[in-house]
Structure 1
């Protein structure tokens, strides 16, 4: 039997607390994420998708409920503590990298994720051959720009670097928050192919928010839909494989 990696039980998260404008963004949300799941996440604007990621990552504190990692409640753990098991790639290519640091320097930071920091030599030169090899897997010229400041990269290269940094240490859970949305169609498609390859090769557990129904159908073993802060649709395996864009459009029309 597959063991749950992460469980959200009756999670409530409000904004504008204790004011007339108080709103429940997550409304007694329940979700079980099994090790090895690649879940595509759909939902209209305001459905709670990014809020769900912020609750899992610790950027927002839940009002009630539990967030269980391997059975342990992490709902009150700090963002820093959660980075030991979690990585996230955001929609904006400018997030997730240090713009004034070179590609190699950013990768060195990612290589040391979760380690205690001290006043030790960084030994960057010894890592350059290794970094050149792994950036070459992106197939976008990133391996030729190791000494380039990240702020001078193209949007696609910078997002590829963010993704590479997020997966360098094989996180227990990877959150992809519309990570291809800000890219042109071809660059977006290329990064999605690379994403799928890495998730499969490393057997990563991954949640990916997307507005592209085709990507939600094509990638992953499971698909969920959020609506008004709850999971209203959850399919996997053969049931997901049988879905079509027409069926999804029809479902969205019913719940709106």
Structure 2
């Protein structure tokens, strides 16, 4: 099977050319296949966010290659990657325009990655669709389509970010601890809706989490990063049989 996205021998450094130069990703290799829902674990400084920033184009690759559908995208800009990649950040304030309404934000997402031209925005025609997709989040967001995003609760704003990221069905969805800033109840609700949408639409997704229970419960594949390399990669039935105790014992071996 040909990977959807492939990272080959990736080296990513920060503070390059200075006394403080540090190699974060150390010759990392990862193949991501169509329909993979991968939970990503690792201690602080293991390289999780750097991995996402490298895939997203925010950090340049110092060595190695990244390919999408076999095409080299190693040096493709962040802006051009939005045509096939979407990301939800930990901070609910990121990923949305605060002074625009919920409906206006969703309209922006509807045109993500498309060529910008002067045209009528046709917001009213899209309202039934926007109401339908916000209703699926089951948090009252559908009643706030005309509300400025800055006036939403943290959970509603993060749910909106998730809907915006998945509106155009990206080739790859990156969830960067997207429930970490929410209270436990809201976090669990968003995680449930995330799983529903990702699995029902067969989205290809990487999700960073610090919650071992979520890492075990969700997805078909689990990877652990340590010192900029993938030290553990389990999938399918092997992942289903993995226990929290076994995972914790593995972490003990990489401390």
Q: Tell me, yes or no, whether TM beats 0.5.
A: yes
SS at match of 1:100: coil
Aligned equivalent of 1:110: 109
Scaled by the length of structure 1, the TM-score of the pair is 0.99
C-alpha deviation, 1:3, in angstroms = 2.3
SS at match of 2:67: strand
C-alpha deviation, 1:16, in angstroms = 1.1
Aligned equivalent of 2:94: 95
C-alpha deviation, 1:150, in angstroms = 0.2
C-alpha deviation, 1:189, in angstroms = 0.4
SS at match of 2:103: helix
* d(CA) in 2 for partners of 1:215, 1:137: 21
Query: What root-mean-square deviation, in Å, do the aligned CA atoms of Structure 1 and Structure 2 show?
Result: 0.6
* d(CA) in 2 for partners of 1:143, 1:92: 21
C-alpha deviation, 1:159, in angstroms = 0.1
* d(CA) in 2 for partners of 1:106, 1:39: 27
Scaled by the length of structure 2, the TM-score of the pair is 0.99
* d(CA) in 1 for partners of 2:100, 2:60: 31
Give the 5 Å matches for 1:136-155. Answer: 136-155=135-154
Deviations 1:176-216 (A, max 9, x none): 00000000001000001100000111100000000000000
Of 17-26 and 183-192, deviating more is 17-26
Matched, 1:125 2:124: yes
Q: Which runs of 5+ in 2 are unaligned?
A: none
* d(CA) in 2 for partners of 1:139, 1:151: 19
SS at match of 1:109: helix
* d(CA) in 2 for partners of 1:88, 1:42: 17
* d(CA) in 1 for partners of 2:118, 2:67: 35
Aligned equivalent of 2:242: 243
Q: Which runs of 5+ in 1 are unaligned?
A: none
* d(CA) in 2 for partners of 1:180, 1:198: 15
Give the 5 Å matches for 1:29-68. Answer: 29-68=28-67
* d(CA) in 1 for partners of 2:91, 2:249: 30
Aligned equivalent of 2:10: 11
Aligned equivalent of 2:206: 207
Which runs of 4 or more aligned residues in structure 1 lie more than 3 Å from their structure 2 counterparts after TM superposition? none
Aligned equivalent of 1:189: 188
Matched, 1:226 2:244: no
* d(CA) in 2 for partners of 1:114, 1:86: 9
C-alpha deviation, 1:140, in angstroms = 0.4
Deviations 1:50-94 (A, max 9, x none): 000000000110101000101111010000110111000000000
Aligned equivalent of 1:177: 176
